[in-house]
Amino acid sequence: MKHILLLCLALTTVLHAVDKKPKAMRLKGDVILADDFKAEKLDEKWVYAKGEEAAKFEVADGALLMDQAAGKGAVVWRAFEAPVQDVSVQLLVKPWACSWIAFGFYAPGDRPGAQRKINIAVTPKGAVVVRDVDNQKVLKSANTRIPSTEWQRVAFESKGDKITVQVNEQVMLELKTELTEGEKAGVLLNLYGGKGSVDEIEVKKLK
């Protein structure tokens, strides 16, 4: 009986360690969007394609589960109440069974997926990449070496032509590009090649 209790305790400790979530970063600005995915269903303000050949999105274990399923990718977005210029987003990412999870902002327009210029991609091997969406070009990258089964908190700040990317309160990437300038109408999440999880997303308008 004692051995069984010790085994259960050890298993619980391992599971807790794997699911440990890094604390939120104290980023400056006013919150204009936040979702901790604690509700039973995904907020209707999140928009995505529906149908038998579409990706699947659901709230599971207090996080957003993104599943490419029969789709060509998993894309979900949410509009701001009004467009903003300088903005930041932080969220928890766990690419546990996919090729990558990406996120970023989209400009005003009828097709959010086509209105993106820059996104931040996180891979299962710990890579964090700033990508030119239109040209599918890597602008800059770094490696956190964080396992795909662990949560990592990633922040992307866009101010003027400057991009700053932090992971777990550590600045990983900084660069300047005109691609990040201009109005942002909302935030978009994108997954490719399987399943992954996202949680505690927060967007702030910078002063």
In a domain, 9, yes or no: no
Task: Decide: 51 and 181 in contact? Cβ < 8 Å.
Answer: no
Number of domains in the chain: 1
Mean predicted confidence (pLDDT) in 21-44:
97
Question: In what helix (H) or strand (E) does residue 4 lie, and over which residues does it extend?
Answer: helix 2-18
Task: Classify residue 10: in a domain, yes or no.
Answer: no
Using only C-alpha atoms, the chain has a radius of gyration, in whole angstroms, of 17
Within-domain flag for 68 = yes
Whether 2 maps to a domain, the answer reads no
Give the tens place of pLDDT for each residue, 31-42.
999 999 999 999
Q: Express each pLDDT in 137-160 by its tens digit.
A: 999 999 999 999 999 999 999 999
| Residue carrying structure tokens 């207090």 | 62
The parent domain of residue 79 ranges over: 23-205
If we measure between CA atoms, which residue out of 155, 127, 130, 159 comes closest to residue 143? 127
| pLDDT (0 to 100) of residue 19 | 81
Q: What is the mean pLDDT of residues 58-65?
A: 97
Domain holding 46: CATH number?
2.60.120.560
Helix (H, G, I), strand (E, B) or coil at 101: strand
Interior angle at CA 117, CA 45 and CA 187, nearest 5? 20
- How far, CA to CA in Å, does 9 sit from each of 16, 20, 133? 11, 16, 46
Residue 18 falls within a domain, yes or no?
no
Q: What is the pLDDT of residue 3?
A: 53
Which tokens go with 20? 């440990």
- The pTM score is 0.90
Q: Where are the alpha helices (DSSP H) in 37-157?
A: none
Place of tokens 């490719």: 192
Domain presence at residue 81: yes
Cα distance between residue 118 and residue 136, in whole Å: 10
Q: Are the beta carbons of 90 and 155 closer than 8 angstroms?
A: yes
Is 190 domain-assigned? yes
Residue 113 corresponds to which tokens in the numbers above? 């997926």
Q: How confident is the model at residue 5 (pLDDT cuts 50, 70, 90)?
A: very low
Amino acid (one-letter) located at 125: K
- pLDDT score for 92: 98
* 15 assigned to some structural domain: no
**pLDDT above 50: residue 13:** no
Per-residue DSSP letter, 23: P
